[in-house]
Every structure is written in structure tokens, then in C-alpha cells.
Amino acid sequence: MYQPIAATLGFILSKDKSSVLMVHRTFRDTDENLGKYNGLGGKLESNENVADGMIREIKEESGLTVTSMQLRGTVSWPNFGPSQRPWLGFIFLIDGWEGEPFSENEEGTLSWVKISDIPSLPMWEGDAFFIPLVFDGDPRQFHGYMPYDGEHPSGWTVTRI
């Protein structure tokens, strides 16, 4: 039976829609994501739905209050990372928010990154497959399956609906 860790991952657009707020995960030596850039998010709590989980994570990790967001898609990651645990990610684009973002959180520093510069950042290898779908403007959601062999993807399939 497949019992993944359910999590959210959000990409917060700047007011001019040219950049995304990302975290450079450098603060915890035990972090499986150490040294990598990522959107903001985390594990769902047992008492919340996916949208509320995303809103909570954005507030906790950035200090921003979400006013508008879209579920862009999902990705299933069996055997992800060094711990080889299964994850199911709900991927959001946050295009409305209020407040001033933190400069850092417990995972690392936060910075605005131009969307065009994202591919050049140190990230998980598999991120290159689904991140372009977050920003491509296609109104259909994507639903991807990306098995990992530890730290490297061993495949990628995606359906848009």
C-alpha cells in the first residue's frame, strides 16, 4: 500500500510577477535539502485540508498572508531522497499576498529569484521537470509521477487535465 507523506510546496510570485520567493536551505546540517533552493511549504497536519496547510506554511515560513493561490498540480515522489520515503506534493502558485517577507526562516535565507534564473539554481534534479509547469500559464493542472532512486529521479510521467 502506498502511504506517502502529504505535503505542500508553494511558489510565491512577486508583485510584478517576474520573481519567486525561494528559500536557500543552509541552516540545518541534518536537512536532506541542505544547500538546495526550494519553494516554501511542508507536511500537512492531520487536522487541515491542503489549501489551509499551504496558507499556514506560507505564513510560518515567510510571514506573508496568502490572498490568492491556485493549485497547479501534484507530484508523487516514491523513494525520495536519502531516506527514500514516499512523498505526495500539492504544488501551488501564490499570486496574491500581503505583508513583508522574512529575510530568513529556520531553514535558510529567503530571496526573490527571477523565474528565468530558477533553472540555474542548485535544486533537486527532478525539480527541472515540474517547476516549468507551475509557471507556463496552461490553465490545466498537472499530475506527475517521479520515482526516485535515492537522490536522483528514475522516471517522469505527467498528465494534464
Indicate the pLDDT class of residue 32, thresholds 50, 70 and 90.
confident
Q: What's the pLDDT score for residue 90?
A: 98
Q: Does the pLDDT at position 56 exceed 90?
A: yes
25: its cell numbers:
536551505
Q: Which amino acid is at 136?
A: D
Domain map of the chain by residue range?
A: 5-160
Q: Which residue has the cell 520567493?
A: 21
Q: What's the pLDDT score for residue 137?
A: 95
Half-sphere exposure of 26 (CA within 13 A, CB side): 10
Q: Which of 19-33, 39-53, 102-116 is least confident?
A: 19-33
CB 60 within 8 A of CB 145: no
List phi, psi (to 5°) of 31: -75, 125
Task: Calculate mean pLDDT across residues 38-51.
Answer: 97
List phi, psi (to 5°) of 20: -130, 140
Q: How far apart are CA 17 and CA 87, in angstroms?
A: 29
The three-point CA angle 106-91-148 to 5° equals: 85
- For 93-143, the pLDDT digits (tens) are 999 999 999 999 999 999 999 999 999 999 999 999 999 999 999 999 999
List phi, psi (to 5°) of 61: -90, -25
Q: What's the pLDDT score for residue 31?
A: 87
Q: Does the pLDDT at position 62 exceed 90?
A: yes
Pick the CATH number of 5-160 from 3.20.20.70, 3.60.21.10, 3.90.79.10, 1.20.120.1460: 3.90.79.10
